[in-house]
């Protein structure tokens, strides 16, 4: 009997609006009906607005690639994230967003990946050493904590040239974990037509934790600005972004703007990688034959040479399959700015257009074996077609995540370094249940038995 990776339960097709809102705030994945895994488009009605889930590849392409300016980011989603992210590039639209991307994008160009590879390698080495100590103390380890730690370490080393052990970095990491666990993707303001002057109903703890994180990032940013002024700043991502002028206006980010961007770099670069690495390790524990293939390939890791990435093909395909089954950002919301006609339906301005990687990546009319774990799929005709048309873990089009290439180096590298050193096994009775908070995580963590591989050496 084929074992399928865990998937949330689905709700009945019809529930009351109040029940749906409560389910949605608790976990948007299990709040959705089963029909969304086969529908090209679905309409949801609330007393105040209409929402449309778009699964058809042609619709996704229209919204994200062909006419992104007509479908800006929804401010309903922004309401819940504003205390932490401010006016970061993740939330803005129009001319402000264009200006931000002109400053940020050069830091993530292809050549910069080679420059950050050494920092990723150092973070991976540190992760192997930490996990070795953890599994020596207890052979069953909560693996999301491990992946969160290494992903945060990568961000701090590549962004600010400091390891996670740095006092400020450690405090940001600790505060962010508290924020992630308590913050739903949407707050109640997303469902109501509130005027701009009204409070947004953020939890007191959410506001307090966000303020703590932003204060710590402000300290890091101010210190880096002083180093830049003194000519002593390291050549890392923070320096690159803070010294890049907008080619259209000549402006640079001030401290407040840079704090907004660092907050989203940490969310996008840390949370998403941590989530995918955790699920990838669980999948490899669930399918030991694939684990051994990754481990065998990882023998190629001999030193911090970027050229090794071309040899980590199995690890790349496993990481990509984890992104498919457990996309870190399960849903993206756009808003219609003018009247639209979508699949013979009139859609009014202000309607919410939901693009769901979670449903698109498991769509029964698009993918062969949509709920199964099969990294070999990427070499098949179906897999190659879906890779182009139905695989959007980093979004697509003009608003594609600027760090997508960064993630596709970091993920396979860290995965390979861990598999070179350790063997992972599932723990009976502790199957993880995927839920969506800020990213797709396991409800009660991912618990795996970890043992040292014989003859494994630190890389």
Set out the domains of the chain in order of their start, with CATH numbers.
Answer: 17-73+115-161+258-452 (1.10.630.10)
pLDDT in tens, 253-268: 998 999 999 888 887 7
- Range in 218-222, 268-272, 396-400, 424-428 with the lowest mean pLDDT: 268-272
The string of DSSP codes covering 253-276 is --HHHHHHHHHHHHIIIIIHHHHH
The pLDDT, as a whole number, for residue 50 is 86
Highest mean pLDDT among 192-196, 215-219, 267-271, 437-441: 215-219
| Surface-to-core class of residue 271, CB atoms within 10 Å of its CB (0-12 exposed, 13-18 middle, 19+ buried) | buried
Q: Give the count of beta carbons closer than 10 Å to the beta carbon of residue 278.
A: 28
Please name every residue paired with 458 in a beta bridge, in sequence order, or none if there are none: none
In 105-142, alpha helices (H):
110-137
The rounded distance, in Å, linking the Cα atoms of 279 and 393 is 14
- For the residues 150-176, what does the mean pLDDT come to? 90
Percent of the chain topping pLDDT 70: 87
Per the DSSP assignment, residues forming a β-bridge with 278 are none
Q: What is the pTM assigned to this prediction?
A: 0.91
The predicted structure's pLDDT at residue 121: 96
pLDDT range class, residue 439, cuts 50, 70, 90: confident
The alpha carbons of the chain give a radius of gyration, in whole angstroms, of 22
**Per-residue pLDDT tens over the stretch 232-260:** 999 999 999 999 999 999 999 998 999 99
More confident residue, 204 or 279: 279
Token code pair at residue 38: 């086969």
Tell me the per-residue pLDDT of 29-79, one tens digit each, with 9 for 90 and over. 776 788 899 999 999 877 777 889 999 999 999 999 999 999 999 877 766
């Amino acid at each position: 009997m084929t074992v399928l990776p865990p998937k949330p339960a689905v709700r009945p097709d019809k529930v009351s609006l109040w029940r749906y809102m409560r389910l949605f705030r608790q976990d948007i994945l299990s709040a959705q009906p089963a029909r969304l895994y086969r529908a090209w488009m679905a309409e949801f009605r609330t007393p105040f607005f209409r929402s449309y889930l778009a699964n058809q590849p042609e619709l996704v392409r229209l919204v994200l690639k062909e006419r992104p300016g007509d479908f800006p980011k929804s401010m309903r989603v922004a309401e819940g994230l504003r205390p932490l992210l401010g006016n970061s590039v993740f939330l803005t639209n129009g001319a402000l967003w264009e200006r931000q991307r002109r400053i940020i994008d050069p830091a993530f160009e292809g050549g910069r990946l080679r420059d950050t590879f050494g920092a990723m390698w150092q973070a991976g080495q540190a992760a192997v050493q930490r996990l070795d100590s953890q599994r020596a103390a207890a052979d069953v380890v909560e693996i999301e904590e491990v992946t969160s730690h290494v992903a945060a370490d990568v961000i701090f080393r590549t962004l600010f040239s400091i390891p996670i052990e740095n006092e400020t970095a450690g405090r940001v990491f600790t505060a962010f974990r508290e924020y992630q666990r308590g913050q739903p993707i949407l707050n109640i303001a997303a469902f109501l037509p509130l005027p701009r002057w009204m409070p947004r109903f953020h939890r007191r703890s959410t506001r307090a934790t966000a303020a703590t994180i932003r204060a710590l990032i402000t300290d890091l940013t101010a210190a880096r600005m002083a180093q830049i002024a003194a000519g002593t700043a390291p050549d890392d991502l923070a320096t690159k972004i803070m010294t890049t002028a907008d080619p259209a206006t000549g402006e640079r980010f001030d401290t407040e703007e840079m704090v907004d961007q660092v907050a989203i770099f940490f969310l996008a670069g840390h949370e998403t990688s941590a989530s995918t690495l955790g699920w990838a390790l669980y999948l490899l524990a669930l399918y030991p034959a694939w684990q051994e293939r990754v481990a065998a390939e990882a023998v190629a890791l001999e030193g911090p040479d970027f050229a090794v990435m071309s040899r980590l093909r199995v690890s790349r395909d496993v990481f990509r399959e984890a992104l498919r089954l457990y996309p870190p950002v399960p849903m993206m919301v756009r808003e219609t700015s003018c009247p639209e006609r979508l699949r013979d339906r009139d859609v009014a301005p202000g309607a919410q257009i939901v693009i769901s990687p979670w449903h698109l990546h498991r769509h029964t009319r698009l993918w062969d074996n949509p709920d199964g774990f099969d990294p070999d799929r990427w070499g098949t005709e179906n897999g190659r077609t879906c890779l182009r048309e139905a695989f959007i873990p980093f979004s697509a089009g003009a608003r594609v995540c600027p760090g997508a290439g960064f993630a596709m180096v970091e993920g396979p590298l860290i995965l390979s370094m861990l598999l070179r050193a350790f063997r992972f096994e599932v723990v009976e009775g502790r199957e993880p249940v995927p839920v969506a908070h800020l990213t797709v995580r396991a409800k009660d963590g991912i618990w795996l038995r970890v043992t040292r591989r014989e003859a494994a050496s630190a890389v």
